[in-house]
Structure 1
């Protein structure tokens, strides 16, 4: 049962969920894992998330909400809301917060491309985790 003071950031995609965790002070976000999911098979990685929530003593979960540029909700935003609703039933003691994440995946990809030496295949493996870090870091910065 989470009783800590850490926040977790999630970038929910159709194939993976990027996971980031805050430090104990709530100042910085670090990427910890990318969980594979299978929407069609109904596997959303909730069990692994529960393990991480317990391990890191998380009390807040920040889920990226990929709104359209005109601020409307598209299918991915709806999927993130549903993901959050389902997760809330698994960890009712955690507060779920939705963070506007427009462009975070694009920003994450740009950062990785600017590194120059990261192949497309490697970028694909870390992009969701980095997007989760950006979602959580944006939240932590805003909260201060």
Structure 2
């Protein structure tokens, strides 16, 4: 398996490369991109979830076009932090994708990311249910990726001091 510690992944990332954040839901895989300076995550798109082989070419095209150097995949831990079947499935899926794309990857806790994003889209953006359904997966991926960017950047700054 090609899964790294979150901080080791940041250190292993080639300069100028971006990170692709993945929120693998049961129907849609939400995608987000970091900027090259690893400061900001932005929603990218959602891909219909299919078998890995059927999705692989789409992922490879995105990796080439967006100069992706690593993957950060959401890890759906239980609310109590437990590692259940959904977390195991996400770990296996992320490892398989990373191996097939020959990219380093890590898992990042994504508990409540969809809930937080939905709450924001309702209260702050006043989006309809239909419009929320169209954007929630990619925005949740950006929320999760931003968490990884912030945490690893803060750790990097602490170790430099």
Contact 1:108 1:127 in 2 (8 A): yes
Higher helix proportion, which one? 2
Task: Report the counterpart of residue 35 of structure 2 in structure 1.
Answer: 23
Count of matched residue pairs: 140
User: Which residue of 66, 90, 96 corresponds with 1:56?
Assistant: 66
| Two-structure CA RMSD over aligned residues (Å) | 1.8
Q: Summarize the alignment of residues 30-109 of structure 1 with structure 2, pairs less than 5 Å apart.
A: 30-38=42-50, 45-92=55-102, 94-109=103-118
Distance in 2 of aligned mates of 1:64 and 1:95:
15
Question: How far does residue 75 in structure 1 lie from its aligned partner after superposition?
Answer: 2.6
Larger Rg: 2
Distance in 1 of aligned mates of 2:81 and 2:145:
20
**Cα shift readout 1:32-62 (whole Å, capped 9, x = no counterpart):** 11000135xx666222111111111111100
1:45 partner SS: helix
Specify every segment of 5 or more residues in structure 2 that has no aligned partner in the other structure, as ranges: 1-13, 154-161
Specify every segment of 5 or more residues in structure 1 that has no aligned partner in the other structure, as ranges: none
So what's the TM-score if we normalise by structure 2? 0.80
Distance in 1 of aligned mates of 2:100 and 2:125:
40
Distance in 1 of aligned mates of 2:132 and 2:138:
10
